[in-house]
Amino acid sequence: MAGFQLRAYPLLDILKKIIKKNIKKLKYCNFSVGHDLRQWRSNYDVSKIYYADSLKYSGVLWELCHEIDIIYYLFGLPKSVYARNLKLMNFKKIKNDYSSVQLDYKKFTLNLIQEMISPIYKRKYEFIFTDKILILDLVSNQIYLLKKNKKKILYQINNFNKNEMYLKLMKNFVSKEKNRFASLEDICMNTKILNSLEFSSKKKKIVRYK
């Protein structure tokens, strides 16, 4: 079972349908996710997190890899990727805590900020079309539209419990049903993108896929 629990987020499939319907007008996307690691992992000594001793897997890209999975789920493999990873805090054994990522597709580009610094938890995906802006806010649990300086809430979840996503994954895993969430192929593709981003940041190069 893959641990990409955001695949089970209730508004995700609705979002995907809206994007698909308007994909020809999509120009760029802005994704952002962040929270102070000491608050995010408040029940851990951050220097003893399972990946902290790993030179390869100790950074923000791997800690917050769910966004890469969501991007792959929505759009597939990009044409090219570029990343710039920085260490802005002094977390022990964590090699970087801020990453600026660009993923280029054939007709649009996507910018992603992942960080372990923000004192307030934020997780938001913005889709900028020629005539409107579509936003999924995973903190307020809303999908809303900005058009002509007006905000219209399209969908909203009240009293959402994050554990519901874990439960959906576990129920699907123990059942005899086909995997409804991330497959082994998805995991391999996500790992490919993440490794490319690490390489890009290290070598300061754009990584292109054929």
Provide φ and ψ at 203, rounded to 5°: -95, -5
DSSP 33: E
Residue 209 covered by a domain: no
Residue 10 covered by a domain: yes
Please state, for a pLDDT cut of 70, what percent of the chain lies above it: 88
Q: Give the whole-angstrom CA distance, residue 178 versus residue 33.
A: 30
Confidence of residue 172 (pLDDT cuts 50, 70, 90): confident
DSSP 78: -
DSSP 179: P
- Residue in the block written with tokens 């002509």: 148
Please state, for a pLDDT cut of 90, what percent of the chain lies above it: 66
Domains held by the chain: number: 1
Contact status, residue 181 vs residue 169, Cβ threshold 8 Å:
yes
Least confident of 41-45, 66-70, 159-163, 205-209: 41-45
Residue 25 covered by a domain: yes
Torsion-angle region of 25 (φ positive above 0: left; ψ -120 to 50: alpha; else: beta): alpha
Domain that holds residue 134: 5-202
* Helices of type H across the chain: 12-22, 37-40, 60-63, 66-75, 163-174, 184-203
Q: Which two tokens stand for residue 162?
A: 């994050």
pLDDT of 30 over the 70 cut:
yes
pLDDT of 179 over the 80 cut:
no
pLDDT of 173 over the 90 cut:
no
- Residue in the block written with tokens 């409107």: 132
pLDDT of 51 over the 70 cut:
no
Residue 172 covered by a domain: yes
Residue 210 covered by a domain: no
Estimate to the nearest angstrom the gap between the alpha carbon of 28 and the chain centroid.
Answer: 15
HSE-CB for 199 with a 13 A CA cutoff? 11
Residue 171 covered by a domain: yes
Task: Look up the CATH number of the domain holding residue 179.
Answer: 3.30.360.10
Confidence of residue 4 (pLDDT cuts 50, 70, 90): confident
pLDDT of 195 over the 90 cut:
yes
Residue 208 covered by a domain: no
- Provide the pairing of β-strand 109-115 with 26-34: parallel
Confidence of residue 39 (pLDDT cuts 50, 70, 90): confident
pLDDT of 130 over the 60 cut:
yes
The residue that leads in pLDDT, 39 or 190, is 190
Query: Residue 43 has what pLDDT?
Result: 61
